[in-house]
Chains A and B, each alone.
Chain A
């Protein structure tokens, strides 16, 4: 009886040919983007998305072309921050799906752009008995399509706003093996540092390059007098970076205006470059640039 290897082809399903074609498509997108950087934290609520948007604004201010991939499939927020409304029609042409045009020329792709209503949840089926396997596999596929089917064009930077937790980095790493690295973000609280240290350990084990650690919400800056005060009790984040042997990229004081939605047509950084928080963002971005170039 013949064996698998004796039978030519793949049985007529043409799966191999198609998987290879999908891989080439993904590669053709990625080859036009110089640096791919993921911003992540094991912990939720540390200000990843607001910081990602403002890091993008800072890079644009330095003359770079920037896109943001909102990899937080179930809690997307980048559209909101960059002023792209859900009512905006999705443009699909021969080149793929056109990215959203965010403020300051930042391109973006997010699940929010694909949903019919602003309050629509991300659900892969209306059936109540959808299995966890189905949801998990669909999320991996969705991420691939968001990267590969978006017409990013030529970019200097693609920032990837990761969801809370460290599980999604597996997907990103397999999609984008040439990832310049991840920027880990924590707030000073011990709880956050405890969880982020696990995320750093995982990335080290997986040999995902870590650009460094940002200490976000590091104290409170009064928008009126710019005096600083503590916001969280916690140990020095710089010592966590030292302990994990990764660069400390800087501390960014909390400013109530940083996460505001951009109805004004501008992100916090652009309007407040000279504030204490604005300068801190700039310093962190300078450190990121030094690390990856």
Chain B
């Protein structure tokens, strides 16, 4: 799927930050025209989100990212999976994630989880926050308008 800025007749670029989907249901992807700066958001419903999940890829990810996490889709989707599977939980040297925040980010569909992590981390860094909790994640969602 590609998006075209009609006034500029230019391809709109996927924005890999500023994304905070509602867990396992809806997804919002942002696209921006490099020429005029106009942004749009593509909103998917639950069924569309599920369909993309099947591919086991990450929006805006790389080939290396797609293959580096063994059983990555199952790790993020099995309701009662082993802890060893879930090692992909977010880590950033100077920022701590509460258990609840880790669980919430783990519930974000696999294919946009990295983007969601980046959005939350960037928001936390901008505010000088060192502990990411569920409240902060709510704030991020509020801020990015999703």
Interface residues of chain A, those whose CB is within 8 Å of chain B, are 1-2, 4, 7-15, 17-22, 25, 89-92, 96-97, 113-117, 120-127, 131, 133-134, 137-138, 140-142, 144-146, 149
Contact = CB atoms under 8 A, between A and B. Distances in A.
A7 B11 CA distance: 6
A138 B77 contact: yes
Given A92-B84, A145-B71, A22 B56 contact: yes
Contacts of B16: 12
A92 B68 CA distance: 11
Interface string B24-35: 100000010000
B74 interface: yes
Given A11-B2, A12-B14, A114-B85, A125 B24 contact: yes
Interface string B51-91: 10111111111111111001111100111111111010000
15 contacts: A2-B9, A2-B10, A8-B11, A11-B11, A12-B14, A18-B63, A21-B63, A22-B67, A97-B70, A127-B24, A131-B47, A133-B47, A141-B56, A141-B74, A145-B70
Nearest to A91: B84
Contacts of A122: 78
* Interface of A: prevailing SS: loop
Contact of A7 (B2, B24, B51, B57): B2
A13 B66 contact: no
Contacts of B66: 17-19, 21-22
Contact residues on B (Cβ < 8 Å of other chain), bracket: 35 or more
B70 A116 contact: no
Nearest to B77: A124
A252 B66 CA distance: 45
A184 to B, nearest CB: 29
A149 B85 CA distance: 12
Contacts of A141: 53-56, 73-74
A131 B50 contact: yes
Contacts of A125: 24, 77, 79
